[in-house]
Amino acid sequence: MINQIPVNLLRFILLLLAQVLVLSNMNFSSFVNPYVFPLFILLLPFETPRWLLMIIGLFAGLTLDIFLGSTGMHAAACLAVGYLRPFLISVITPKGTEFEISPNIHSQGVAWFVFYTGITMLFYLTFYFLLEAATFFNFFLLLVKIVFSTLMSVAFMLIFLFLFSARKKRRFV
Amino acid sequence: MYNLLRFFIRYHLFILFVALEAFCFFLIYRNGKYQKAAYISVANGISGKVYDVYKGGADYFYLRRYSDSLVEENAYLRSQLLESKFDNRVDSGMVSDTSKRFVQTYTYITARVIRNSVNRSTNLIYLDKGRRHGITPQMGVIAPNGIVGQVIDATDDYAAVMSVLSKDFKVSARFKKNEYFGNLHWNGLSSTTAILEEIPKHVPVKEGDTVVTSGYSQMFPRNIMIGVVKKIKSHPDKTFLDVTVALSTDFGNISYVYVAKNLRKQELQQLDSLTKTTNND
């Protein structure tokens, strides 16, 4: 359990740098605004208590806010993701599935992860864009932005997962 | 009492969630119009460093482009020198005291862009110069091709600029060929266009007309390029025209900017406060 901390810390730094220096710097278009950073919260160990998920979500979000200059908006969204994560996992996971310590693309499978990240990002980006839009509320623009950004976010998250997930060696029984 | 306690125990997670969300919303809405300003003063110190280091490395890949644009601008500025111009006055016999004729109003501080975005609803640009170099809030920022934005906050070493592509940005703009002016603001749709408001219907405008700063705001000098008219719409039920302006600054590609410092701002502010007190009396 203890060696989960350096792994997650490393993942936090990697995702933060990928988000801040690469993705948020790319400026695809005003409709595509992908975020990979929430993956950090999604990959925390399964047994993380809900209150800790919320606290970690809040501080992770605040860190992202500092870099992107968007006071509290990502913090609010990350916090909500942390709160809803246990609920989401219980909904999309079939009964009787065996868990490893944390979500892993090789043990949970790609389909599961597409659902997991897709639903989370749809929620996250809706929440965030609504907060950000505040004054010029253009429903159509908002919808297009949410859909395209979610698709791109999921794609980038899968790339990240395939690049950095350790495949567990099968033990012989 | 017991029931109340049971309620708290049962819903403690939800209560924690609501409390933390309330804290986030407090952060978001604390500063009203410029939500970011105060927070950025703290944040810029840390994140400014990271961006500075990153940009320092990335800049090497663009050196060619930077120097090309600088050379181009130098050529233009050379053409503006008095030496490059022919004195066309007919009454050349008249002697005027040229040393007093022009008084410096604006000076410029050059700065490098260390962070930029175009796809959010308030796009902030960070500069690598701050209060130590003389940058203060409310100063106008221009690039070689046109206006960029307005400084909203500055730390000792860094400054945050709200770009034209921000929902709260407004600048007084006018047509170059006549004196009609209006307010220019962004509508959030595209990073290449903005909307010019309050142009009466009788004004002769056509596509391709140049839009420049009016110089009324004291933020920018007069006649700084903003863009050209891209589309004009006239609704029968509105008193003003809808003018879409194609911005001349390529916001996705700004590397060096000039921060305009108005040397006569204080005098104008004095006048402002004077007229205010006389009007109140």
Which candidate in B17, B23, B185 is best for mutational testing of the A interface (most A CBs within 10 A)?
B17
Cα–Cα distance, B281 to B279 (Å, whole number): 6
Cα–Cα distance, B68 to B256 (Å, whole number): 12
**Stretch B93-111: mean pLDDT:** 71
Answer yes or no: is A78 within a domain.
Answer: yes
Out of A21, A33, A66, the one facing B46 most closely (by C-beta) is A66
Note whether B251 and B123 are within 8 A (CB): yes
> Looking at residue B33, what is its pLDDT?
45
The answer, yes or no, to whether residue B36 has pLDDT greater than 60, is no
Of B4-8, B74-78, B205-209, where does mean pLDDT reach its minimum? B74-78
Question: Is A69's CB within 8 Å of B36's CB?
Answer: yes
What are the pLDDT digits (tens) for B220-263? 888 889 999 998 888 888 888 889 999 998 888 888 899 988 88
Question: Is B20's CB within 8 Å of A21's CB?
Answer: no
- Looking at mean pLDDT, say which of A77-81, B60-64, B202-206 comes out highest: A77-81
- How many CB atoms are closer than 10 A to CB B199? 21
Rounded to 10 degrees, the C-alpha dihedral B202/B208/B214/B217 comes to 100
pLDDT level of residue B190 (50, 70, 90 thresholds): confident
Note whether B161 and B114 are within 8 A (CB): no
Answer yes or no: is A33 within a domain.
Answer: yes
Note whether B141 and B150 are within 8 A (CB): yes
Across the A:B interface, residue pairs with CB atoms under 8 Å apart total: 99
The answer, yes or no, to whether residue A69 has pLDDT greater than 90, is no
Answer yes or no: is A39 within a domain.
Answer: yes
Specify the 3-state DSSP secondary structure of A171. Answer: coil
- How many CB atoms are closer than 10 A to CB B28? 21
**Stretch A85-98: mean pLDDT:** 84
Residue span of the structural domain in which A115 resides: 4-164
Cα–Cα distance, B174 to A136 (Å, whole number): 24
Listed by start position, the domains of chain B span 1-30, 37-80+105-168+255-262, 171-247
**Stretch B136-144: mean pLDDT:** 89
Provide the domain count of chain A: 1
Report phi then psi at A44, rounded to 5. Answer: -65, 155
- How many CB atoms are closer than 10 A to CB B145? 17
- Candidates B168, B190, B170; CA nearest to B182 is B170
> Looking at residue B147, what is its pLDDT?
92
> Looking at residue A39, what is its pLDDT?
93
Question: Is B121's CB within 8 Å of A133's CB?
Answer: yes
Cα–Cα distance, B40 to B137 (Å, whole number): 13
In chain B, which residues have their Cβ closer than 8 Å to the Cβ of A131?
Answer: 28
Q: Which residues of A touch B (CB under 8 A)?
A: 20-21, 24-25, 27-33, 50-51, 54-55, 58, 61, 65-67, 69-73, 75-76, 79-80, 83, 131-136, 138, 141
Mark B168-179 as b/e (b = at least 16 C-beta within 10 Å). bbebbbbbeeee
Q: Is the ipTM of this complex over 0.85?
A: no
Note whether B258 and B106 are within 8 A (CB): no
Cα–Cα distance, B102 to B104 (Å, whole number): 7
Q: At what angle do helices A73-92 and A110-133 cross, to 10 degrees?
A: 150
Question: Is B121's CB within 8 Å of A70's CB?
Answer: no
**Stretch A128-156: mean pLDDT:** 83
pLDDT level of residue A56 (50, 70, 90 thresholds): very high
CATH of B171-247, one of 2.40.10.350, 3.40.109.10, 3.20.20.70, 3.40.30.10: 2.40.10.350
In chain A, which residues have their Cβ closer than 8 Å to the Cβ of B162?
Answer: none
Q: Distance from B118 to chain A by nearest Cα, in Å?
A: 6
The answer, yes or no, to whether residue B280 has pLDDT greater than 70, is no
In chain A, which residues have their Cβ closer than 8 Å to the Cβ of B20?
Answer: 54-55, 58, 79
Out of A30, A65, A69, the one facing B160 most closely (by C-beta) is A69
> Looking at residue B31, what is its pLDDT?
57
- Candidates B237, B235, B215; CA nearest to B225 is B215
List, in order, residues 6 or more apart from B192 with CB less than 8 Å away. B246, B247, B250, B251
Note whether A34 and A156 are within 8 A (CB): yes
B117/A111: higher pLDDT: A111
List, in order, residues 6 or more apart from B120 with CB less than 8 Å away. A33, A70, A132
Answer yes or no: is A170 within a domain.
Answer: no
Mean pLDDT, chain B, integer: 81
Whether domain B37-80+105-168+255-262 has CATH 2.40.10.340: yes
Question: Is B119's CB within 8 Å of A29's CB?
Answer: yes
> Looking at residue B83, what is its pLDDT?
67
Answer yes or no: is A85 within a domain.
Answer: yes
**Stretch B27-36: mean pLDDT:** 61
Question: Is A135's CB within 8 Å of B167's CB?
Answer: yes
Q: Beta strands of B25-176 (E only): which ranges? A: 106-115, 122-127, 140-143, 146-154, 159-166, 171-175
Which stretch of DSSP H or E encloses residue B69? helix B63-80
Question: Is B28's CB within 8 Å of A24's CB?
Answer: no
**Stretch B173-190: mean pLDDT:** 87
DSSP, res B5:
H
Specify the 3-state DSSP secondary structure of B234. Answer: coil
Q: Which residues does residue B256 pair with via DSSP β-bridges, in sequence order?
A: B112
The answer, yes or no, to whether residue A103 has pLDDT greater than 80, is yes
Q: Which residues of B touch A (CB under 8 A)?
A: 13, 16-17, 20-21, 23-28, 30-31, 35-36, 39-40, 42-43, 46-47, 50, 54, 115-122, 124, 126, 160, 167, 187-191, 252
Report phi then psi at A21, rounded to 5. Answer: -90, -25
Out of A27, A28, A71, the one facing B27 most closely (by C-beta) is A71
